Amino acid sequence: MNEASRQSYLKALGLTPWVARAPLPGAAPSPWLDWEEEQDPPVAQAHVSAGVPVGSVPAAEQTRAEGSSPAVSLKDSLEAPKPAPVQRTEPVETSAETGMQPAPQPPESVAANGNSVTFTLEAHQGNGTWLLCAQEDTQAPGLGRFEAPLMASLLAVFQGRPGRPRRFFCPLTDQPMQAQEAAQALSAFIAGLCDQTGGERVLLALPESLNEALFNQPRYQSFDIGGQRALVISALSEMLADPVTHKKASWQAMQEHGFDGV
């Protein structure tokens, strides 16, 4: 079907074609709808080429083949096939070498630049235990929609409830912060929490890369930080991505080192 016939069908259906003559703010670029004069091939010749006798061609089609415009009834227009909707897509950046669309990269909870680190921790208090969780997106105002329920489940182990959290931001200023300096600042932050509101233990849910940068030791081993006994388990994002591995290892370490809430 050529464009002129398509417009005729739309008009008979009471649909008004519309397209912006100028780009709209924030909208994807639209192709300019312009077409040359198109004419359908003679109906009689088309049926002959398909092996259909000329005498069997409907009178309406013969009339159109002769150049006259047939009157389109409402019934015929409703039974006519509807044109496929035009799909508008956003422009996609592709790789200059492969021509393939690059895979989206998820936000990271820790970004390393040489020896400097960038991360955000959200701190909640339980019964004698502070729970510090690394945010998957360091620039977000809080934990993600899937991280928050998992953090609440961990906090319930220590008879705590999610409330207004404390946060530790690294770097503390606009200047990069080295891993050793960040570890010292975090130790002072934890000591201040315990001095102000109490607490004997610190449970940290951190990615392995951040744990090694700050503490230079593997996870799931008890150590001291800020004068308190601490344990690093898997990050919330890791537990969500691979619960069989990370939840099991984290819970076993919590039971082994007395962080099971008992």
Distance (Å, whole) CA 204 – CA 43 = 77
Taking CA atoms, 211 is separated from 78, 194, 218, in Å, by 66, 21, 7
For the chain, the average pLDDT equals 74
- The average pLDDT across 106-116 equals 54
Report whether pLDDT(261) > 90: no
C-beta pairs of 182-190 under 8 Å, 24+ apart in sequence: 182/117, 182/119, 182/213, 182/214, 183/214, 183/215, 186/121, 186/214, 186/225, 186/226, 187/225, 187/226, 188/226, 189/226, 190/130, 190/132, 190/225, 190/226, 190/228, 190/230
Quickly count: other Cβ atoms within 10 Å of residue 28's Cβ. 10
The percentage of residues in the chain with a pLDDT greater than 70, rounded to a whole number, is: 65
- Say which range, 7-16, 43-52, 157-166, has the weakest mean pLDDT: 43-52
Closest CA to 137 of 147, 150, 129: 147
Better pLDDT: 20 or 128: 128
Half-sphere exposure of 224 (CA within 13 A, CB side): 3
pTM for the model: 0.56
Q: Indicate the helix (H) or strand (E) that contains 77.
A: helix 74-79
Better pLDDT: 34 or 80: 34
User: Tokens 């780009």 correspond to what residue?
Assistant: 23
Sequence-distant (≥ 6) Cβ neighbours of residue 252 within 8 angstroms = 220
Q: What is the pLDDT of residue 92?
A: 45
Highest mean pLDDT, choosing among 3-12, 52-61, 158-167, 211-220: 211-220
- The average pLDDT across 205-225 equals 92
Distance (Å, whole) CA 89 – CA 74 = 33
User: Tokens 């912060």 correspond to what residue?
Assistant: 177
Report whether pLDDT(67) > 60: no
Report whether pLDDT(231) > 50: yes
Per-residue pLDDT of 179-189, as tens digits, reads 999 999 999 99
Report whether pLDDT(144) > 80: yes
- Say which range, 18-22, 40-44, 76-80, has the weakest mean pLDDT: 76-80
Q: Largest alpha-carbon pair distance within the chain? A: 100
Highest mean pLDDT, choosing among 11-25, 45-59, 63-77, 221-235: 221-235
